[in-house]
Amino acid sequence: MPNETTSPPQSVNVQIDGVWHQFPKGTRVIEACEQAGKYVPRYCYHKKLSSPGNCRMCLIEMGMPKMGPDRKPELGGDGKPTINWMPRPQICCAQDVSEGMGVRTTSPLVEECRRGVMEFLLINHPLDCPICDQAGECRLQEFSVEYGNQGSRFLENKVKKPKNVELGPRVTLDDERCILCSRCIRFCQEIAHDDVLGFIDRGSHTVLTAHPGKRLENNYSLNTVDICPVGALTSTDFRFKMRVWFLKETKSFCTSCATGCNTLIGSREDVIHRQTPRENNDVNSSWMCDYGRLKFKYVDSDRRLLEPRVLQNDKLTATDWKRAIANVALQLKHFGGWNIAIIASGRMTNEEMWLTSRIAKSLGTQWIDIVPHRGPGDDILLSEDRNPNTNGAKLLGLTSEPGAMIPKMVEAIKSGSLRALVVLCENPLELGLTADELRNLPAFITMSISQNESTDLSTAVLPSSAFAEKRGSMINGDGRLQRLNRAVRPPGNARDDWEILRDLLQALTDSNGVYTIDDVFRQMSEAIPQLAGLSLTKVGDLGLQLVNIDESPAPPRAPKEDDIELAEAKRPPGR
């Protein structure tokens, strides 16, 4: 969702708690206060949604400049306008700043308003923080500390409402905790365009619900959990799993499609517990889809590969990394370039792709491509391109048209002219190759994070790392360079992909000199004009927009028949 660009804004002068500030015209008062370091508590207001002004937590004192008889503001001793304070408190979430406006965010009246609203919100709220998933990131808790009363004056029975309501397959609702701020309803209407939530009944008995015949099951439903300021909406997947204060939050982005929504990965002791969207107005605003959000379970799968294996006596046998890399290099050195194909992945980082393309060069093969992954997209965030780094693959010369070369490769493998296959983070069985054809390959090397039917058929298996286990960069569908950060460590002896590829490259070329991933990036930035002058550090948390990413280097050219025949076959050590 790109930012709307507006004409250069004019500034207006606003007095906040006695200090004059300048803000661009069109700034919400509540945002202006925040920018001035005066955070105003709020429940219903969300800057990405419309303002209903219903929670009344952001009441402040507001004033307008006093007008003289000449219809011009009267100036005080300091040369600034004298402010006519309104007798009643005003909400600051629905109004824009205007010239000469005055705001008081800490006056006794304002404090009294906040205490009053807090008391009202809490009288019917269950006292179940100890078992509530929101505890630790709950606005009610946070503002209670600042504006709550110490005890309760409420002697009556609380209003009873439905508990443990399945609003949809992924969202669970506790209506007694709901403070009726309507954020989730507005999100469904305004962002997800799926108007399924609403309030029924009236007054204090108002209940949030979905129509019994239509559930909250759109692909953005979990965003309602993120924006719920209290524990009313909880993620069915995450609830009761982990207290949020134990979670380490790592800034990353989602690798489930080409959008690359910015995320926070919540993990504890090398286990990922949840993924939540992180605001980036150039990419995903404040949202992400459920599909991408929940696609981290495979990281903790039982099928993860834990140690490198090579084929010994027709059996894949565990070994150490040094021997595994040497074995793979030996296998590949037996073949001429035209006998070797590399099936890479659009899910690899730029650094991994860069090393892959250098390996391809050193092997002398131009049989290289990535596997396209596509699926239905939408007009909100989800891209049809389910590869997070197609643009990186193009820029780094792995492919010009993802998947264009794959059918030819498959044909060449079937016909026996291709004799060595390197598969990086993909499953060749999904490309039309049969198990027998793979079994017959003299050299079939896979780098993968988890075990599958094709890894079992390999002559060497190199266990690598998932997106949350490594550092690296990718280029999203809009040409934005973004950075992955390591949230958890890879299991067992699995290694960072780039290290595996670097070691293999060094084994193939007897070169040296790449010690860190930053070195890899530096090599790339020296070779690729679009990345010139950049480093992983400079990518930052919010990424960088690249220009001219379509001007990629000459793509690999499909080999001709003659070339293949010229190639000389030798007996590899694998099979």
Partner 1 sequence: MQAAIARYPKDRQRSAAMPLLHLWQEHFGFISDAGVNWIAAKLGLQPINILELVTFYPMYRQQPAGRKHIRVCRTLSCAMAGSYDLMQRAREIAAGDPNISVEFVECLASCGTAPVCMIDDELHENVDPHSIVDLVRNQQPIVRPRPEPHRLEHRLIFKNIGRRDWKIDIDTYVADGGYEQLKKALTMSRAEIINEVKTSGLRGRGGAGFPCGVKWSFIKPDEKKPVYLICNADESEPGTFKDRYIIHEDPHQMLEGMLISAYAVNAKTAYIYIRGEFPEGAQILENAIEEARAKNFLGQNILGKGFDCEIYIHRGAGAYICGEETGLIESLEGKRAYPRIKPPYFPAVLGLYMCPTIVNNVETLCHVKHIIAMGGAQYAQLGRPNNTGTRIVCVSGDVQRPGYFEIEVGKVTMGQLIYEMAGGTKPGRMLKAVIPGGSSAKVLRADERFKIKDRQPDGSTIEREMFIDELPMDFDSLAAAGSMAGSGGVIVLDDSRDMVWVLNNINEFYAHESCGQCTPCREGSLWMKKITDRMMLGGGVVEDPKTLKTIGDNIAGRTICAFGEACAWPTQSFVEKFPDEFAARAKKPIPPPLPPELTPEELIEDRQVPVRPLAHDPGWEKAGAAGTI
Contact region with partner 1 (CB under 8 A), list: 4-12, 45-53, 291-299, 472-480: 45-53
Establish if 377 lies at the interface with partner 1 (CB under 8 A): no
**How many angstroms separate the most distant Cα atoms in the chain?**
100
Q: Is 108 a residue that touches partner 1 (CB under 8 A)? A: no
Alpha helices in 150-237 (DSSP H): 183-190, 222-227
Of 25, 211, 303, 538, which lies in the binding site for partner 1, with binding defined by CB under 8 A? 211
163-192 binders of partner 1 (CB under 8 A)? 179-180
Question: Among 37, 146, 199, 416, which residue interacts with partner 1 (rule: CB under 8 A)?
Answer: 199
Please give the residues from 133 up to 162 whose contact with partner 1 meets the rule CB under 8 A: 151-157, 159
- Picking from 109, 94, 113, 96, the residue whose alpha carbon sits closest to that of residue 54 is 94
Nearest CA-CA partner of 422 in 491, 501, 346, 349: 501
Helix (H, G, I), strand (E, B), or coil: what is residue 483? strand
* Element of type H or E holding 539: helix 536-539
Distances, alpha carbon 150 to alpha carbons 40, 129, 230, 553, in Å: 21, 16, 20, 67
Q: Name which position in 34, 74, 119, 300 contacts partner 1 (CB under 8 A).
A: 119
User: Interface with partner 1 includes 432 (CB under 8 A)?
Assistant: no
- Under rule CB under 8 A, residue 212 binds partner 1: yes
CB neighbours of residue 80 within 10 Å? 15
Amino acid at 243: R
Tell me whether residue 107 or residue 362 sits nearer to partner 1 (CB atom): 107
In the list 113, 261, 371, 505, the residue contacting partner 1 (rule: CB under 8 A) is 113
Structure token pair of residue 512: 């040296």
Contact 388, 374 (CB under 8 A): no
Q: Which is nearer to partner 1, 197 or 445 (CB)?
A: 197
Burial 47-62 (b: 16+ CB within 10 A, else e): ebbebbbebbbbbbbb
Using the minimum distance from each CB to partner 1, give the nearer residue, 209 or 275. 209
Minimum CB–partner distance for residue 142 and partner 1 (Å): 17
> What is the C-alpha separation between 451 and 302, in angstroms, rounded?
9
User: Token pair of 143, please?
Assistant: 């503002």
The tokens of 47 are what?
């800057």
Query: What φ, ψ does residue 461 adopt, rounded to 5°?
Result: -125, 125
Shortest Cβ distance from residue 365 to partner 1 (Å)? 56
Q: How far is the CB of 109 from partner 1 (least distance, A)?
A: 10
Q: How far apart are CA 129 and CA 145, in angstroms?
A: 14
- Chain positions 51 to 90 lying near partner 1, rule: CB under 8 A, are 51-57, 59, 88-89
What is the sign, positive or negative, of the torsion defined by CA atoms of 185, 187, 190, 194?
negative
8 A C-beta contact, residue 15 and residue 32: no
Piece in contact with partner 1 (CB under 8 A), picked from 210-218, 300-308, 414-422, 529-537: 210-218
Q: Which residues pair with 502 in a beta bridge?
A: none
72, 160, 214, 243: which one binds partner 1 (CB under 8 A):
214
Residues in the chain: 575
* 117 near partner 1, judged by CB under 8 A: yes
Binding segment for partner 1 (CB under 8 A), chosen from 212-220, 286-294, 304-312, 368-376, is: 212-220
Chain centroid to Cα 477, Å, comes to 14
Q: Is 296 exposed, middle or buried (0-12, 13-18, 19+ CB in 10 A)?
A: buried
> Does 210 contact partner 1 by CB under 8 A?
yes
The yes or no reply on residue 50 touching partner 1 (CB under 8 A) is: no
Q: Which is nearer to partner 1, 51 or 349 (CB)?
A: 51
CB of 380 to partner 1, least distance (A): 18
By CB under 8 A, name the one of 11, 106, 204, 545 that touches partner 1. Answer: 204
Closest by CA position to 197, among listed 215, 173, 179: 215
Closer CB to partner 1, residue 151 or residue 513? 151
Helices assigned H by DSSP within 364-471: 390-395, 406-415, 435-439, 453-456
Least distance to partner 1, CB of residue 439, Å: 54
For residue 213, the minimal CB distance to partner 1 (Å) is: 6
Would you say 202 or 557 has its CB closer to partner 1? 202
Binding mask 4-43 for partner 1 (x = CB under 8 A): ----------------------------------------
Select the residue interacting with partner 1 from 13, 84, 141, 206 (CB under 8 A): 206
Min dist CB 18 to partner 1, Å, is 24
Nearer to partner 1, 90 or 493 (CB): 90
**427, 294 in Cβ contact below 8 A?**
no
Binding residues (CB under 8 A) for partner 1: these are: 51-57, 59, 88-89, 91, 94-95, 112-113, 116-117, 119-121, 123-124, 151-157, 159, 179-180, 195-206, 209-214
